[in-house]
Structure 1
Amino acid sequence: MIVSPESTASKTEAERSSRFKPGQSGNPAGKAKGTRNRATLALEVLLDGQAEILTQKAIDLALTGDIAALRLCLDRILPARKDRPVSFEMQPITTAADAKEASAALLVAVSTGNLTPSEAAEIGKLVDGYVKSIEITEVLARLDRLEGTKA
């Protein structure tokens, strides 16, 4: 069979027209909510009814000294703590100027060991957000007063 350059060119044009267009999804609706991974579903079917037996086996292995099984069991019993409640002295913040005292209280809490630096950083973010909301409220109140005097 002899292939002419014209037929090759038309094939590539036809192929291009059937491919996805730029900016257009092949599945505009996306994956349905709640759709679960096939592999996960298959594993659940295989393990159905075996969870209790497997759990007991892991415990037995851990008790005989299997380090991996022990780590697995301990991770399930006492998972790594992601966050903890913290308590320290800090004056209430009612104006943007109070943020200075709040920051000083955070530094003292870190220096005395009552807070870790990362905990203080997270609380500092909360203080910053609160101060910004106070500043915006004050600016809006000034703007309202200015517009009221011009009207």
Structure 2
Amino acid sequence: MTENSGQVQAGRFRPGQSGNPAGKPKGAKNRATILAQALFDNEAEVLVRTIIELAKAGDMQALKVCIDRLCPPIKAQSAPIQVEIPVTDSMSDLANTFIKAAADGRLSPDVAAQMVSAVGTLARVVEIDELKERLIALEAAVIRK
């Protein structure tokens, strides 16, 4: 091992020490990528026009490409939503509240699904707490005997 190599005895480099400090800089593109981009840049307009013509002619794949570029995906609601939540001990009643709100159009389906999932998680937590209380009561009864 030489003093300037940056290597440790096992032949590996020290953490944070590059084996080739003068190597390719971060973000540099390889030659194939540069060539492909140059070819595409020269033909982009023709390619786009061809895809549009194929879509107009009924090519479903070309139509999908065009629609995907023209219509952004629908995003979840960002505005606050008010849903009347009933006072109940029934987790199914609570979940049904969100499902009904989605069915009525007051809540988007993805938000309703998240809320129903949260109710399911809450139900599991309640179930674990109830099991814990029952176990403590059983242990206390066994100790008294």
For Structure 1 versus Structure 2, the TM-score category normalised by the shorter chain is 0.3 to 0.5
Higher helix share: 1
User: So what's the TM-score if we normalise by structure 1?
Assistant: 0.44
User: So what's the TM-score if we normalise by structure 2?
Assistant: 0.45
Q: More relative contact order in 1 or in 2 (CA 8 Å, sep 6+)?
A: 1
